[in-house]
Amino acid sequence: MSAVESSKAGRDSDAGGGKLSSMSKGSFVFTSMALHSLEADADILERHRYKQRLASHHLLSYRLKKEASKRVPLRSSMFLKPAMCQDVVIQNAVYTGNLEAMQRLFPRGSTANLIIEPQGGEMRWAARGEGLWSLTYEQELTMPLHITAGRGFADCLKFLLQRGASVDLAPGGITALHESCANCESECTKLLLVHGANANAVSEDGRMPLHLCTTPESFECAKHLLQYGGAINGRTVDEDDTPLHVAARNGLPNHIELYLRYGAAVDKQNDEGLTPLNAACSQPQELQDLQRYFKVCQLLLKAGADLHTTDQDKHTPLHMACKNVNADLVDLLLANGACVNNMDYGGEAPMHNILKVVCYKIAHSPERIVRALLNHGSIRVWPGALPMVLKHCSESPRTIEVLLNAYSHLKVNDTWVEAVSPEVFKEHKEFYESVFSLQLTPRSLQHLARYRLRAFLEGRLDKVVPQLHMPTFLKNYLLLDYRGYIH
């Protein structure tokens, strides 16, 4: 190719994609397909350059607007730093939610960012130097915004926000949003979020607002937080708990359902190795709380929670449910495949956990748990330890009945008689007389037949017995139903 042709090709190239075809034909030999590809590449390049110019235009426009907004004079309250407030009149208006008084006390141009040091509080020991300690009131700094948010004074809170109160200030280690969530004030929670409060602000003790939703009444607060970007899997600093851990530990089925819908991780472990399921099972439960915790665990299992995960001490959810004597929950875990004979670090199975607390939880029907464990193949108590078990569990005759019916024969002696206090014997005289009579008589043939059949079906009783073609009362007898006496 001559110098003239080369120079012409260079000029054609600078002219753009429109002359690509003529340049190509005059310089090289191209196929029609190659020419089409080159033209397409040129078109893509031109569109890319257009997008770059457009993006530069938008960026310049954004910067100009930002610079303009910086030059707009703000309200004076936005420039003022938080100031200490010791004015009793102002404090009284804030603490009582007196909107009319606050409108007079906070005129336009004044700052709403006042720091208040409450008087009183809880007593605590504080170091005063050189090994000296004294009792002082534990005082945490607060602000009008925090007080109104925590007490549910929505009108006052809205007024303070209009006066320029900063939503994320935390002089006492927590924000106003923490206060409203801790006190279940859903209207105030939403108001703060609408005005830009950080839904994931971390308090001094390492908790986000979602971690403070610990009661059924806090459900609406939790819902607002998630709608405004609350971190569904956010962790606490100290325990590494997620909101799902907190809800499970407090027995909050509605919260659990909400969090799962927002994608909460169901098997995250905290610093103690607890998953939300473990946390729910390990929490001490009063009689009125049993169904709430049962519902929580039901939801978690349905969402795929692993019931074999153990904590640092090798406790499974079944260990914990037995310790807290939640019979419905034990049935649920067993129905989903929980292992009845897993040992913890102390060498104890779930059966040990339930027997240790029978006397404290008689109202929780501990006999149901002992029966369920035995019917699912649990290990039995060493016969030599039965007098000790009798001593600690005698106030629950049904528990004793279920335990004793798991043996073909019993070596009843005076130690057994001494293990039952006179008061308990008097209250359950007929039952314990039937137990002590075994000192002189063997077990009945009917019981021995039951024992042999149970031994043959061990580990399958709960599945096989319901399918047997026999009367219901015989099925119940095989599954250690209660009769009120030993024979």
* Mean pLDDT value across the chain: 85
Residue with tokens 């002696």: 413
**Neighbouring C-alpha atoms within 13 Å toward the C-beta of 477:** 16
* Rounded-to-integer distance, Cα 221 and Cα 210, Å: 8
Write down how long the chain is.
487
| pLDDT score for 297 | 98
Core vs surface per residue 360-399: b (16+ CB within 10 A) or e: ebbebbbbbbbbbbbbbebeebeeeebbebbbebbbbbbb
Given a contact cutoff of 8 angstroms between Cβ atoms, the answer to whether 341 and 378 are in contact is yes
Q: Could you give the percent of the chain with pLDDT greater than 70?
A: 79
Nearest CA-CA partner of 161 in 140, 176, 150 = 176
Residue 3, pLDDT > 70, answer no
Residue with tokens 């009367």: 471
Residue 368, pLDDT > 80, answer yes
SS3 of the chain: helix, strand, coil, percent, to 5: 55, 5, 40
| Tens digit of each residue's pLDDT (9 = 90 or more) over 435-456 | 999 988 889 999 999 999 999 9
Residue 414, pLDDT > 70, answer yes
Task: Label each residue of 17-73 as H, E or C.
Answer: HHHHHHHHHHHCCCCHHHHHHHHHHHHHHHHHHHHHHHHHHHHHHHHHHHHHHHHCC
* Rounded-to-integer distance, Cα 108 and Cα 327, Å: 62
Nearest CA-CA partner of 154 in 99, 198, 197 = 99
* Rounded-to-integer distance, Cα 200 and Cα 88, Å: 33
| pLDDT score for 87 | 81
SS3 249: helix
Report which of residues 477 and 32 the model is more confident about.
Answer: 477
Nearest CA-CA partner of 325 in 292, 350, 299, 298 = 350
Q: Are strands 122-127 and 114-115 parallel, antiparallel or unpaired?
A: unpaired
* Rounded-to-integer distance, Cα 257 and Cα 226, Å: 13
Report residue 85's pLDDT band, with 50, 70 and 90 as the boundaries.
Answer: confident
Instruction: Take residue 344 and report the two structure tokens written for it.
Output: 């913890």
Instruction: Take residue 419 and report the two structure tokens written for it.
Output: 């293990």
Q: Are strands 83-84 and 114-115 parallel, antiparallel or unpaired?
A: parallel
Residue 88, pLDDT > 50, answer yes
379: left (phi over 0), alpha (psi -120 to 50) or beta: beta
Core vs surface per residue 271-297: b (16+ CB within 10 A) or e: eeebbbbbbbbbbebeeeebebbbbbb
Which of 11-25, 320-334, 366-380, 382-396 has the least mean pLDDT?
Answer: 11-25
Nearest CA-CA partner of 149 in 92, 80, 221, 81 = 221
| pLDDT score for 141 | 87
Nearest CA-CA partner of 282 in 308, 247, 319, 330 = 319
